[in-house]
Structure 1
Amino acid sequence: MAVRSSLLALALAVLALLAAFPAAAQDELQDGPKSLVISYRASAAHRVAFRRYLATNLAPRLRAMKAKGEISDFRIFYSWYRQPAVWDGLVILRFPTFAAVSGWNAIEHSEPGGLDAAGIALADPVASYSSDLAWSRNPDELKDGDVYYVIPYEYRNEGEYRDYVKAYVLPQFDGWIQTGALRGYEIYMNRYGTGSPWDSLFIQHYRGLAAFGKRQQITASVRDTLRNDPVWKAWSDKKAGIRSESENSIAELVAH
């Protein structure tokens, strides 16, 4: 009887755990989006000065907001190169609650994108996206000298896309972490995404230039092992019809 009771308790615990997985994937949708992704464009003449502004002006202000609990975290990235359809600066703000977003909205009344007059003279805040950090691993292990690879995607159906990320994308990312090349990752979902420029945004944290240089080699190696998994292989075969990818960015960390 004791053994039967123990087995029953174990079975119930397993069922409860399995039942929790679908809900966990949707947890962020039970409240308003608590991340804001802001992109900026600077002219070629202002790129150097705008990077300096982000590091010496905006970053200290964001650190002060974090110390007061007005934001829970932030990170500032800057693209390696100037590209036709890619931002120069990218700021991601995370808020402790959805209500806390209103504090940032008040700043936007006088400082679009959080830029004061000096910042506006150097760059334009092109777009701000209310987003959810839907999946991540070691997202706050941010290191100077690491390489941040940023990939925007559009998808045709959100539910299908979430299943695709769990079954196809995450096993690869976790495999890259196991090789030691990747330190962590963040996957943001645009809460109000309707297509271009992105519905989801991947940020991969590579452990320095050498690890990033082996990206293609490591990607192919991990995929070779995953092809033995029929579920992963099925998603791989149909991924082209699930999402489309636009211009990628290679970036450095300016501040966090």
Structure 2
Amino acid sequence: METESQTEILIESLCKSFNGNDVLQGITLRINSGEVVAIVGGSGCGKTVLMNLILGQFTPDKGNILVFDHGEKNRRLRDLSEFNEFEIDNIHRHWGVVFQRNALFSGSVYENIALWLREVKGLDDDAIIPIAEETLRAVGLPNDRDFLMSDHGNLSGGMAKRLAVARALSMDPYVIFYDEPTTGLDPTNSAQIHDLIINKHNQNLPEGTIRTSIIVTHDKDLLNRARPRTIMLHAGKVYFDGPFEEFEAAESEIIRPYFDLMPLLDQRYLVETPQLPDLSKRKGLII
């Protein structure tokens, strides 16, 4: 049985640059099982880069990333650099990811939810349909047959975001990564996603396993509700790491202006952030 002190992800002296731009400069973090962790900071500070390094989408220039292997008989931390593609795929079986730009597959709403339930968990349609209906209902989307079979390309931006969240949650993962889960949603739909993130985090998992939630966000309302451990990146380093209450009260000349501007950044983030590669096409990645 795992405990709250179980290390889920360990990052040591992590560095990453692009075209001479040093995005991350010696990041060191330990994320424990059961934590809700919010990664915040100004646009371009490396939040999404850090998440994609953990997911194995980018290779670090320097440093190490160790992740807890839930698939191993003798569960333990393992260095990501030592994994082959098959082993990375096995790690991803226990993770769920909501990408910033949704990364939905072509095809129907149903197929977006069903694909990994079918291929990873071996479920048939009789078992998948109730899961799809429940996760769609939970994120405030229709769950009738017509909607399930509709083309996801016809969805509005907000509906597509909620479908991406539903797809990740349908896998019932041990670790859930959320990259800007409420960007582009109105306050009512954002509040639904807040509830879903919090409720899903607290939901019981088999064998005493505790779910871990990692959220890249500018959403101040989400932070107010979740009260997470808050990590702020600035100038390529960890500038703050502590309880949200301390972050909220900080009078730092770096934290205070950012905190006050968070609502504006949350609205503008998709416009200002460069397009990342389509990571959904990588074999074995659960999204």
How does the TM-score come out when normalised to structure 1? 0.30
**Structure-2-length-normalised TM-score:** 0.28
- Higher share in strand: 1
Larger Rg over CA atoms: 1
